[in-house]
Structure 1
Amino acid sequence: MMLFMINCYINMIYAFVYFGQLFMTLTPPHWCAAPNELFDSDLNLTLEQIKELTVPKDETTGKFAKCKMYQVNFTQVVGGNLSGPDPTWPNTTCINGWTYDFSLYYPTITSQVITVDCRLSCR
């Protein structure tokens, strides 16, 4: 019986080590952060509209790019009453950092280190 209890205790520790990796390395959805002037209350833009305006979509998947954003003067774009982004706008890497969607996930080590990964993979 004593051997069984010792085995249970050791296996419980191994379970935390083994499964802890899954929860620590989840990568939450992320995209380039928009410039602060787009969050001005006078512009009356929702977060989804700001994301649509600042982050290009991948042509093959239709998903938002994780490490690219449009390189335009967004104040002039919003002032010009454009309904959406122009695919011919130039792209650049994330200038203002990243925005993470924590609605389903929580901050993990991956969301803290992803800035290094994107800086290296986007060049």
Structure 2
Amino acid sequence: MVVIGSPTANVSLSFRGRHEELGYILSEGTFQVSSLSGAFSTLLMEPERFISDLERMDKTLTGNSTLSGIDQEVAISVSVRTLGGVEVNARFDDHQSHKADISFSMDQTYLGPLARALRTELGAAQ
């Protein structure tokens, strides 16, 4: 499991396997900000691209990328801001009665280790 953020504001992801016909990655995870928390399971689109984007952002300290679920029920966006800050925005929506939007900041030095941890997690799921 890979944790994006800190103990008080985070999204955690586990890649469980690849959907062979569609090429999507089955993912499970949790999210937490203050007292708001929840769990999710989704098929993620293009996790390899998201990881490559994080690696590029770590080198250039510019850019943004979004990791999305197949039905947009999960979307995790990472954006480099001025002065080295990184903003994480995540949306969780079951398209019925539950929806959560969370945001938190982290330091730019977290981008490289995050990309490496996600790449390791992705390799283990295939």
Higher helix share: 1
What TM-score bracket applies, with the shorter chain setting the length? Answer: under 0.3
TM-score, reference length from structure 1: 0.23
Specify the structure having the higher radius of gyration (Cα): 1
